[in-house]
Amino acid sequence: MENNPAIPDKRAWRRQMRERRRSVPPPERQALGHMLAMRLIQWPLLPRGGCVASFLSLPEELPTEYINAALQERGCRLAVPVWSLRSQTYRFAAWRPGDPLMAGPMRVPEPRLKRWIATETIALFLVPGLAFDMNGGRIGYGQGCYDRLLAGRAAGSLCVAIGYDWQVVGQVPQDPGDIRMDWIATPQRLIRAKA
């Protein structure tokens, strides 16, 4: 699929990457999630404290439970995306492993207790997606939720895409409002985006 001109648009990328992601056996997915957590926790750019935005993974995503537990042990406060009824959009809210969860409007797990955190106070953002390229391009799930969430980040904060190694491709189509990633983290490597 890498540099494949036969994949002309984001819808085609999403369809193909979702199919491939569904084919990963659950035991392999768990093992790779653990590997990714071990790689990230040793990364020198990972904050030793402060607030890190993570996410509560969906069943077919690389599991973030290991990453989230390691970040908490490191002394980081965690924030995760939570649907705000008042603003009818996603915002970040505080969460700790073990806090009670509920299903949000798009099947996304979220904390029952919503303790909002200002986006500009977050030092590092771990971001899901379906495909990423070496220039920091990212294809998300098609709703633009993360692009809107990340638009309010502070200068100097880092956006780190989280995915399988095969989700890193030559180039993905990008729109003007798409937020570029600074780094891509996979179980096998940490890649600094060229852009």
- Looking at residues 154-180, what average pLDDT do you find? 92
Are residues 90 and 149 in contact, defined by beta-carbon separation less than 8 angstroms? Answer: yes
Tell me the two tokens of residue 90: 């996603």
**Right CATH number for 10-192 from 3.40.50.150, 3.40.50.10420, 3.40.710.10, 3.30.70.20?**
3.40.50.10420
Tell whether the model's pLDDT for residue 2 goes beyond 60. Answer: no
- Look at residue 1 and tell me whether its pLDDT is greater than 80: no
Q: Where are the domains of the chain?
A: 10-192
**pLDDT-based confidence at residue 3 (cuts at 50, 70, 90):** very low
Cα–Cα dist 3/45, whole Å: 30
**For range 122-134, the mean pLDDT:** 95
Q: How far from chain centre, in Å, is Cα 1?
A: 21
Could you tell me if 177 and 187 are in contact, meaning their C-beta atoms sit under 8 angstroms apart?
no
Exposed (0-12), middle (13-18) or buried (19+): which is 9, by Cβ within 10 Å? exposed
The confidence score (pLDDT) of residue 7 equals 53
In the numeric block, which tokens belong to residue 68?
A: 């989230």
Query: Mean of the per-residue pLDDT values for the chain?
Result: 91
Q: What percent of the chain has pLDDT over 70?
A: 95
The structure's pTM equals: 0.91
Based on DSSP, count helices (H) and strands (E) in the chain, helices before strands.
4, 13
Q: What is the pLDDT of residue 144?
A: 81
CA dist., res. 97 & res. 82, Å (int) = 15
- The candidate with the shortest Cα–Cα distance to 161, out of 195, 127, 120, is 127
pLDDT at 158 over 90: yes
Residue range 25-84, pLDDT digits in tens: 999 999 999 999 999 999 999 888 889 999 999 999 999 999 999 999 999 999 999 999
Q: Contact, 171 vs 137, CB < 8 A?
A: yes
